[in-house]
Amino acid sequence: MKVRWLVHLIFLTVQFRAALSTVKCPTNCTCIPTCTGPCTSLTVDCQGHQNIDREKFTQLLHSLLSSNQTYCHLRSLTIVHTPLTQVPRSICRLQTLTLLNLDNNQLTRLPDNCFSNLTALISFSASKNSITQLKDGLFDGLRNLVT
């Protein structure tokens, strides 16, 4: 009886870990999480897919970044080749981020009062977007920012 209970407990533990490491990825995109326990790194790449509904993509991304699997655990976030025109507010709450890569999207601006919350940020990139101007003080308070 004890062996049967132990086997059942091990099975439930494996299922629980597998559920934590699965990431619901937006349609037509590839999501690559790094989850040894909590997810510490996530890459979302939609390269080559033109028919992505921007609103649905943004909602799914917000849901993904607000989930218990990622929130308060992510150190590295890469979102590339997507239809994003604005940075989701959920990114502004990821205070454990040390790397944020938003290259090759359709961003038109960076949000005010967002990056100052990301005090652990060491590296940030948003190249190949449609950003034309930055607000003064956008990166104030980012004492760890190197790149």
Q: What is the pLDDT of residues 79-136, one digit of tens each?
A: 999 999 999 889 999 999 999 999 999 999 999 889 998 999 999 999 999 999 899 9
Distances in Å between the Cα of 31 and the Cα atoms of 23, 25, 47, 78, 145 are: 7, 6, 11, 10, 26
CA–CA separation, 91 and 27 (whole Å) = 20
Residue 119: the pLDDT is: 93
Tell me the whole-structure pTM to 2 decimals: 0.79
Q: Give the pLDDT confidence score for residue 12 in this predicted structure.
A: 32
User: 69: which residues sit within 8 A by CB, 6+ positions away?
Assistant: 20, 21, 23, 33, 35, 38, 39
Amino acid letter, 135: K
Write the DSSP symbol of residue 43.
E
Q: Which of 124, 125, 126, 121 is nearest to 98 (CA)?
A: 121
Instruction: Look up residue 138 and give its two tokens.
Output: 């956008």
Most confident residue range from 2-11, 60-69, 80-89: 80-89
Kind of pairing, strands 76-80 and 39-45? Answer: parallel
pLDDT in tens, 8-59: 334 333 333 343 345 578 888 899 888 777 788 999 999 877 778 888 888 8
